[in-house]
Amino acid sequence: MHKPLIKSVFATLLTLTLTACWGNDPDTQAEQSAGVIDQAAIDRINATLSGFVDSGNLAGASALIREGEREVYFNAFGMADREANVPMARDTIVQIFSMTKPITGVAILSLYEQGKLDLDDPLARHVPEFANLRVYSGTDERGEMILEEPRRPLTIRDLTRHTAGFANSTDLPGVGALLAEEAPGAPEQTLTEMAERLARVPLYFHPGEQWSYGPEVDVLALVVERVSGQPFATYVQENILGPLNMRDTHYFVPEHQRHRLATLYQRKGEGSLVPAPDGQRLATQRWALTPGGYGLNSTLDDYMRFARMLVNEGELDGVRILQPESVRKMATDQLPDDIGDLSWLPGKGQVGFGVNVAVRVAPPASAEENNGVVGEFFWDGMASTLFWVDPTNDLTAVLFVQLVPYDEIGLHKAFRDAVYGPYFPENQQP
């Protein structure tokens, strides 16, 4: 994906799309929504999800789609727990892993609205543990790391768009061994302890120069704690989950809800699934760490309430979580035109990155790309869950499964194709 080219070709289109999508004129909004989910779409989605279950590549799957105020699709297939013969249901609780990230993004934007931080604030202003960061630039003749001063400060915006430069793998040359030694982010650590350990590992690249998915959003959770003066989980509960009536969304699944918690399944090959070792450990034990990047558990209806708040420009059922301008900021590509390596992000399609969500900046160039609409924003989770917000069609979709490794079976591509219909180049936006 060539970002400067994409932005130059589609800038006008995206501006017009967002203006129409987020406009306040109800007549305009009605015209934008032509109805994506008809009976043919329902039949496609049912066949797609039941096919994955029948093939043995999913134990269970459920999906919920709304267009405006209408629920246009719900169904569940297979088992939440095959061993206990518990079917997948509407109230099944699943581990959403990285679908925690957009919730953290909303928390940061709420503090931004309160004037307590700016996205371009240096991270060290709020978390002094990161005041003396250095950047790895190779090794000398003795094998010692060569470290440089960052070319500019690492900012909160870098955290929201994964351009901070944090080391994210113990396999990285130079910094990988130190990352393994420090082991930031173990569940037993507090957010402060995690940050202290991470700050002792040099950055792998200069802030803003690459996109690399890592622990940035866990650090954002600590920013929320420091700026708000509250534990991260408390702030999220009082400012997002509670007001949205997301009653089944927690870091810790209490004992009385465990019968609804889905088993996490590990795929061993075509049609072969086994329960993942310690698959429910994060969900059923209380940990010191409340990461911003993963860890929440939720239900279809709970997460749909979050998605509907976003498509409604920050409001749901008379409760305002964010101002419309903040939601637009969240859903706008924040990546620089001259950014270098984008890692695996282009595998999501022709997308940029906003505040903790991917943002579609161009339509699919071929039938092989993930289907979707320009202006859509979305994210997924390690257990192959997925959600997206499509403002053009006033559509929100949530797909829940519990499958690792992440989507080896092409589930997300197939589900999107089932929702939007077969790909025809002549029908795509220019």
Query: In this structure, are residues 106 and 354 in contact, taking their beta carbons and an 8 Å threshold?
Result: no
Domain termination residue (choose one: 228, 262, 291): 228
Task: Extract the tokens encoding 62.
Answer: 């459920």
- What is the spatial distance between Cα 22 and Cα 36, in angstroms, rounded to a whole number? 18
223 within a domain of the structure (yes/no): yes
Q: Which amino acid is at 330?
A: M
Q: How do residues 250-275 score in pLDDT, each as one tens digit?
A: 999 999 999 999 999 999 999 999 99
- What is the spatial distance between Cα 345 and Cα 337, in angstroms, rounded to a whole number? 15
H helix intervals, 23-155: 26-32, 39-54, 101-113, 123-126
Q: What is the pLDDT, as a whole number, of residue 424?
A: 62
Q: How do residues 112-171 score in pLDDT, each as one tens digit?
A: 999 999 999 999 999 999 999 999 999 888 888 999 999 999 999 999 999 999 999 999
Sequence-separated (6 or more) residues with CB below 8 Å from residue 25? none
- What is the spatial distance between Cα 294 and Cα 96, in angstroms, rounded to a whole number? 7
Of 415, 398, 428, nearest in space to 63 by CA = 398
Domain termination residue (choose one: 189, 205, 228): 228
Q: Are residues 55 and 204 in the same domain?
A: no
Domain termination residue (choose one: 211, 228, 245): 228
pLDDT band at 10 (very low <50, low <70, confident <90, very high): very low
430 within a domain of the structure (yes/no): no
Q: Which amino acid is at 81?
A: D
Task: Extract the tokens encoding 173.
Answer: 């040359």
Q: Are residues 310 and 349 in the same domain?
A: yes
Q: Please, what's the b/e burial string for 345-384 (b: 16 or more CB within 10 A of its CB; e: otherwise)?
A: beebbbbbbbbbbbbbbbbbeeeebbbbbbbbbbbbbbbb
Q: What is the pLDDT, as a whole number, of residue 340?
A: 85
CATH number of the domain within which 152 lies: 1.20.58
* Residues of the chain by 3-state class (helix, strand, coil), percent to 5: 35, 20, 45
% of residues, the chain, pLDDT over 70: 90
Return the H-helix or E-strand segment holding 387. Answer: strand 386-390
Instruction: Tell me the pairing of strands 403-404 and 265-269.
Output: parallel
Helix, coil or strand: residue 94: strand
Q: Are residues 90 and 165 in the same domain?
A: no
Q: Are residues 267 and 384 in the same domain?
A: yes
111 within a domain of the structure (yes/no): no
| DSSP, res 276 | P
Helix, coil or strand: residue 352: strand
H helix intervals, 190-260: 191-199, 216-228, 232-236
216 within a domain of the structure (yes/no): yes
- What is the spatial distance between Cα 248 and Cα 110, in angstroms, rounded to a whole number? 22
Rounded to two decimals, the pTM is 0.91
Q: How do residues 351-373 score in pLDDT, each as one tens digit?
A: 999 999 999 999 999 999 999 99
Q: Are residues 182 and 270 in the same domain?
A: no
CATH number of the domain within which 320 lies: 3.40.710.10
Q: Are residues 152 and 263 in the same domain?
A: no
Domain span holding position 175: 117-228
Q: Are residues 92 and 176 in the same domain?
A: no
311 within a domain of the structure (yes/no): yes
Task: Extract the tokens encoding 7.
Answer: 């932005």
Please state the domain count of the chain. 2
132 within a domain of the structure (yes/no): yes
Q: Are residues 97 and 128 in the same domain?
A: no
**Average pLDDT of the chain?**
92
Q: What is the pLDDT, as a whole number, of residue 132?
A: 96
Q: Are residues 37 and 155 in the same domain?
A: no
Q: How do residues 171-192 score in pLDDT, each as one tens digit?
A: 999 999 999 999 999 999 999 9
Q: Are residues 223 and 263 in the same domain?
A: no
421 C-beta neighbours (distance < 10 Å), count? 14
135 within a domain of the structure (yes/no): yes
Task: Extract the tokens encoding 245.
Answer: 């009536």
Q: Are residues 208 and 247 in the same domain?
A: no
Q: Which amino acid is at 46?
A: N
Q: Are residues 315 and 349 in the same domain?
A: yes
